[in-house]
């Protein structure tokens, strides 16, 4: 299924993809975008655990149904964490492999727009692309069609939103509410 | 023309008459309930060019205390002007706001050493002509009390910068030193004030170069500043910052980048104030064409893409949205009337809000 939305008016994504909680949320690149994701997740009552530096071996992945990587390479963030971009890519790719093996849905998210497009951020996205179940992307990060191409190649949905808080509506559409 | 001349002469006379101490033009509105000085918290500054006025806006209704700082870098005039607009228009109806419009007043007292903007810029306000001061990034060397070192070293850590002049940059000195040079003492005095006044949260307003791409002298296309349109937050304040920027973007269409303080870069307000006090710290950056080294004749007032009106309106909207976000996480906040929203100032103009 291929699906693109613009801004807040989403079409029904259908039964092909429903995201279930609990979510495991991490950063891919250590920008504050992942924290912004959790603020919005709270607004729509998603059950999540946020671990910005979680590694394979430190998490019981079977407790989760969805794995979210909020991508945004930040020199400051990586520096503060004492890691470089290669270590960071390896960390999130290993987590994605584990998540895939455990049948979690994998969300690749750009929440900070074009300010988090660049060589390092794009390397993270490209490394994670084989594992993606869906892309949630701020519109101005996709002006060159980078995420459109990736979603087409993999045949997975792409949902876009014009303003950061628009992610709330995307999540509301994709996340299955508990009975 | 005659009025302008008289105003400028008066301004210069005031500086000379009062022992050459720079005293800025601030015209408080009804919301100001008290005026103090930084020397009230650090007496060695009394009667010096480092002492700066502080404006108290107390609602009399219990609530948090917020500190708004402009002029840490005196050439970043959206910060000083936004602080003036707040002082001259706001009525605080819950909690208390403290405004320090010219945090490094010594830097305001000298022209910008790195740019070409005039020291005083005349504007037509709602009550007639008036001058805005466009100062320097750093303390006047004459006030520092010692020459610049070859290499700047932060007093409380091993953090160094190769530019020794950064010893006169207030936003490299926090938490400051009581017995240090004048700029270290300034940071110390601000921390003392924050502690004494039990400031719950604070915003240090700044400007950076614009994000515009440009072609350098070798013909290469270069990226503009990545700092502008940013809200930097102490790690303890990051969620509040996240909600703040989402509100500014969703309701006013201006996208800001969220950044977390870098613990490896010492001496900055957004990191050190929170570490040294109970006050949650934030720092905002708007784009000032006057800080683009590549521009030949930057217009710091009326640039088509980055006019001062847009920059001041954004600073004030960040303040208002910060108040809203603070309530979401802390349960109560500052309530204020009279401060124009971003849209209102863009529609009605900046100088309509200056006395």
Looking at residue B18, its pLDDT comes to 46
Q: Is B250 on the interface with A (CB under 8 A)?
A: yes
Question: Chain A residues with CB inside 8 Å of B241's CB?
Answer: 32
Mutation choice for B interface testing from A25, A76, A79, A121 by most B CBs within 10 A: A76
Work out the minimum CA distance from A76 to partner chain B, whole angstroms.
6
Kindly provide the b/e burial profile for residues B247-277, where b requires at least 16 CB atoms within 10 angstroms of the residue's own CB: bbbebbebbbbbbbbbeeebbbbbbbbbbbb
B130, β-bridge pairs: B123
B131, β-bridge pairs: B122
Does the structure show a pLDDT above 80 at B6? no
Does the structure show a pLDDT above 60 at B15? no
Q: Using the beta-carbon criterion (under 8 Å), do A165 and B257 form an inter-chain contact?
A: no
Nearest CA in chain A to B247: A165
Q: Is B260 on the interface with A (CB under 8 A)?
A: yes
Average pLDDT, chain B: 94
* pLDDT band (50, 70, 90) for residue B22: confident
Q: Specify the DSSP class assigned to residue B170.
A: G
The structural domains of chain A, with segments of one domain joined by +, span: 19-174
Q: Is B264 on the interface with A (CB under 8 A)?
A: yes
Q: Using the beta-carbon criterion (under 8 Å), do A112 and B239 form an inter-chain contact?
A: no
Question: Chain B residues with CB inside 8 Å of A77's CB?
Answer: 260
- The answer to whether the peptide bond before residue A22 is cis (omega within 30 degrees of 0) is yes
Work out the minimum CA distance from B260 to partner chain A, whole angstroms.
7
Q: Return the percent helix, strand and coil in chain A, to nearest 5.
A: 45, 20, 35
CA dihedral B82, B84, B86, B90 (to 10 degrees): -160
The span from the CA of B84 to the CA of A157, in Å, is 49
Task: Provide the token pair at B270.
Answer: 């957004």
**CATH number of A19-174, picked from 3.40.1190.20, 3.40.50.300, 3.40.640.10, 3.40.50.170:** 3.40.1190.20
The span from the CA of B287 to the CA of B228, in Å, is 5
The span from the CA of A145 to the CA of A107, in Å, is 18
Task: For chain B, positions 222-241, list CB contacts with chain A under 8 A.
Answer: 226, 233, 238-239, 241
Give me the helices (H) in chain A, please.
33-43, 75-81, 85-101, 119-128, 146-154, 167-174
| Pick from B242, B247, B249: CB nearest A35 | B242
Kindly provide the b/e burial profile for residues B16-35, where b requires at least 16 CB atoms within 10 angstroms of the residue's own CB: eeeeebbbbbbebbebbeee
**How many inter-chain contacts (A to B, CB under 8 Å) are there?**
54
Does the structure show a pLDDT above 70 at B38? yes
The span from the CA of B21 to the CA of B342, in Å, is 34
Looking at residue B21, its pLDDT comes to 81
Does the structure show a pLDDT above 90 at B8? no
| Pick from B239, B249, B257: CB nearest A39 | B239
Instruction: Look at the block and give the residue holding tokens 């320097």.
Output: B136
Specify the DSSP element, H or E, that contains B315: helix B308-330
Supply the range of the domain harboring residue B59. 2-214+221-353
Interface of A with B (CB under 8 A): 31-33, 35-36, 39-40, 74, 76-77, 79-80, 112-113, 115, 140, 163-166
Question: Chain A residues with CB inside 8 Å of B213's CB?
Answer: none
Contacts of A133 (CB under 8 A, 6+ apart): A17, A105, A106, A107, A156
Q: What CATH number is given to the structural domain containing B331?
A: 3.40.630
- Determine the longest span between alpha carbons in chain B, in angstroms: 60
Looking at residue A10, its pLDDT comes to 41
Question: Chain B residues with CB inside 8 Å of A165's CB?
Answer: 246-247, 249-250
Average pLDDT over residues B52-60: 98
| Entry pTM | 0.88
Nearest CA in chain B to A37: B242
| Pick from A33, A76, A164: CB nearest B249 | A164
Nearest CA in chain B to A138: B255
| Pick from A79, A113, A165: CB nearest B246 | A165
Say how many domains are in chain B: 1
Query: What percentage of chain B reaches a pLDDT higher than 90?
Result: 89
Q: Is B263 on the interface with A (CB under 8 A)?
A: yes
Contacts of A99 (CB under 8 A, 6+ apart): A24, A61, A64, A67, A106, A131
Which segments of chain A have a pLDDT < 50?
1-14
Are the CB atoms for A4 and A159 separated by under 8 Å? Answer: yes
Query: What percentage of chain A reaches a pLDDT higher than 70?
Result: 90
């Amino acid at each position: 299924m291929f699906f693109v939305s613009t801004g807040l008016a989403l079409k029904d994504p259908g039964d092909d993809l429903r995201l279930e909680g609990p979510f495991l949320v991490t950063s891919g690149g250590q920008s504050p975008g992942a924290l912004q994701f959790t603020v919005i997740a709270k607004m729509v009552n998603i059950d999540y655990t946020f671990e910005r530096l979680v590694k394979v071996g430190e998490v019981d992945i079977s407790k989760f149904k969805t794995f979210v990587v909020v991508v945004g390479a930040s020199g400051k963030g990586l520096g503060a964490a004492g890691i470089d971009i290669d270590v960071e890519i390896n960390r999130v790719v290993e987590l994605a492999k584990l998540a895939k093996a455990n049948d979690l849905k994998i969300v690749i998210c750009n929440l900070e727009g074009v300010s988090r497009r660049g060589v390092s951020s794009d390397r993270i996205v490209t490394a994670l692309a084989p594992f993606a179940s869906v892309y949630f992307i701020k519109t101005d990060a996709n002006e060159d069609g980078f995420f459109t191409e990736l979603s087409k190649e993999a045949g997975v949905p792409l949902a876009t939103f014009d303003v950061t808080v628009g992610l709330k509506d995307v999540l509301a559409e994709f996340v299955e509410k508990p009975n | 023309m005659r009025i302008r001349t008289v105003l400028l002469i008066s301004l210069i006379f005031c500086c000379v008459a009062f022992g050459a101490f720079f005293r800025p033009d601030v015209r408080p509105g009804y919301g100001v309930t008290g005026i103090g000085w930084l020397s009230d918290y650090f007496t060695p500054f009394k009667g010096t060019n480092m002492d700066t006025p502080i404006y108290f806006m107390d609602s009399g209704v219990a609530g948090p205390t917020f500190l708004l700082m402009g002029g840490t870098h005196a050439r970043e005039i959206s910060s000083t002007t936004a602080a003036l607009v707040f002082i001259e228009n706001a009525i605080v109806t819950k909690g208390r706001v403290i405004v320090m419009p010219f945090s490094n007043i010594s830097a305001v007292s000298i022209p910008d050493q790195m740019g070409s903007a005039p020291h005083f810029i005349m504007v037509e306000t709602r009550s007639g002509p008036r001058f805005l001061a466009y100062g320097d990034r750093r303390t006047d060397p004459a006030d520092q009390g010692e020459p610049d070192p070859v290499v700047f070293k932060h007093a409380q850590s091993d953090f160094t910068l190769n530019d020794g002049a950064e010893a006169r940059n207030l936003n490299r000195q926090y938490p400051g030193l009581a017995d240090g040079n004048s700029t270290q003492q300034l940071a110390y005095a601000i921390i003392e004030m924050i502690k004494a006044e039990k400031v719950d949260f604070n915003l240090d307003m700044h400007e950076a170069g614009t994000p515009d791409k440009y072609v350098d002298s070798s013909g290469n296309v270069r990226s503009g500043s990545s700092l502008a349109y940013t809200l930097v937050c102490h790690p303890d304040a990051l969620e509040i910052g996240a909600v703040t920027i989402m509100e500014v973007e969703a309701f006013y269409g201006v996208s800001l980048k969220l950044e977390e303080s870098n613990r490896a870069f010492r001496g900055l307000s957004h990191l050190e104030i929170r570490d040294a006090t109970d006050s949650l710290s934030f720092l905002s950056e708007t784009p000032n064409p006057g800080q683009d080294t590549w521009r030949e004749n930057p217009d710091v007032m009326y640039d088509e893409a980055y006019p001062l009106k847009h920059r001041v309106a954004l600073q004030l909207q960040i303040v208002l949205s910060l108040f809203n976000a603070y309530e979401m996480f802390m349960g109560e906040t500052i309530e204020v009337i009279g401060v124009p929203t971003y849209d209102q100032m863009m529609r009605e103009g900046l100088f309509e809000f200056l006395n």
